[in-house]
Every structure is written in structure tokens, then in C-alpha cells.
Amino acid sequence: MPRTAKFDRDLVLERAMQTFWNQGYCATSLTNLTETTELNPGSIYAAFKSKQGLFLATLDHYGRRSVEEITHTLSTAETPMTGLRKLFNQLAGTANNTGPGRSCFLVNTVLEVTRHDPQVRESINRYFDIIESKIFHTLEAAQSSGELSNAKNPAAMATFIMTTIWGIRVLLVTGADQVRVDAVIQQLFDLLE
């Protein structure tokens, strides 16, 4: 009878995610993961099958949390456009908190791993698609409420907004200052008017 893993899965995923996020997938060794998760190699392999399996689980952990946070931000705002502004204000706020080299875990992964790993690409795209869909529905609601012109194409704008989010996240990796990030966000909202 196989033994059941006895550890806090969320805590292990959080610790492993931080390790992958700080060092990158390729530079993270099994030794790094055993040190940060406080699991032995056999436990990591029993629970996640491989380093890649653990990495995919950390992407899901981060992706689910990101979707929950974005959903909350968009759904609790007074109006759809207020929700989008709030989302971008939160994004802009990360410019002061991340420092060079640290951005969104999903975007960092896109830059490092996805062109070589179809499973990682599929996982990343799943979360990007969910987020883009939420933005699309927010834009549709903004049109219905009269906040966004009917001349705007919500599907194209949602893709444009996602691309802008990726661009801002890449800027953050380079150490862009708050002024640059704020300027990009203002240009986006100028286009939405």
C-alpha cells in the first residue's frame, strides 16, 4: 500500500514557487528544492513525479491565485472601467516592490522556458486565456454601461490589454521606474477613451 504524503502541499508549492521564481527553472536544482521545501528527493518525486511536475504544480498554484485576485479586483469595483484601472494600479504598484529581475512568475516563465517545453506553454496559455477572457467580459460590461465606446472591439482590446500587461511585466524585469510604468498605463487608458 503506497504511503500518503504528509506535508502541507500549499506551503511546499509556495516555497518551491519562490525558488523557481527567484532562480529560474533551469538554474533551480533538486538540492535547492529539497532545501526550500524541506522535503527529501523521494518525497518530491512521489508527490510530483519530477522537477518539471513540481514546476507545473507551482505554475498552477500561482495561476489560480492570480486569477482569483484579478477576479476579485474586477468584480468588486463600482464599474467595469474602475475595475480595470484598479487592476492596472495594482500592476503599477509592483514596480516598487519587485526590483529588477523579478516580475510575474508566469511572464518570467514565458521568457525562460515556454519555447522549449510544450507542457509549460500549455499551462501558461491556459491562465493567460482565462485572464484575457475576464478582461474581455469586463470590456463588454463597460460597453453595456456606456463607459466604453461601442466602436471599440472588446476581443481585440482584451488581447491588446494582455499584451500591455506582458510588456509592463517585462519592463519590471529590467528595473523600469514607476514613471515609465505609469506612462504606459496612461497611454492604454487614453486609447480606451
Domains, the chain, in order of start with CATH, read 59-192 (1.10.357.10)
- Which residues neighbour 142 within 8 Å (Cβ) at sequence distance 6 or greater? 79, 80, 81, 84, 148
Q: In this structure, what C-alpha cell is assigned to residue 33?
A: 528544492
At residue 33, does pLDDT exceed 60? yes
Tell me the mean pLDDT in the region 38-49: 94
Q: What is the pLDDT confidence band of residue 100, given thresholds at 50, 70 and 90?
A: low
Is residue 145 within 8 A of residue 79, CB to CB? The reply is yes
Measuring CA to CA, which residue among 134, 143, 188 is closest to residue 165?
Answer: 188
Q: In this structure, what C-alpha cell is assigned to residue 3?
A: 504511503
CA 179, CA 145: separation in Å to the nearest integer? 31
3-state secondary structure the chain: CCCCCCCCHHHHHHHHHHHHHHHCCCCCCHHHHHHHHCCCHHHHHHHHCCHHHHHHHHHHHHHHHHHHHHHHHHHCCCCHHHHHHHHHHHHHHCHHHHCCCCCCHHHHHHHHCCCCCHHHHHHHHHHHHHHHHHHHHHHHHHHHCCCCCCCCCHHHHHHHHHHHHHHHHHHHHCCCCHHHHHHHHHHHHHHHC
Is residue 179 within 8 A of residue 118, CB to CB? The reply is no
**51-97 residue pLDDT tens:** 999 999 999 999 999 999 999 999 999 999 999 999 998 887 765 55
pTM of the predicted protein model = 0.88
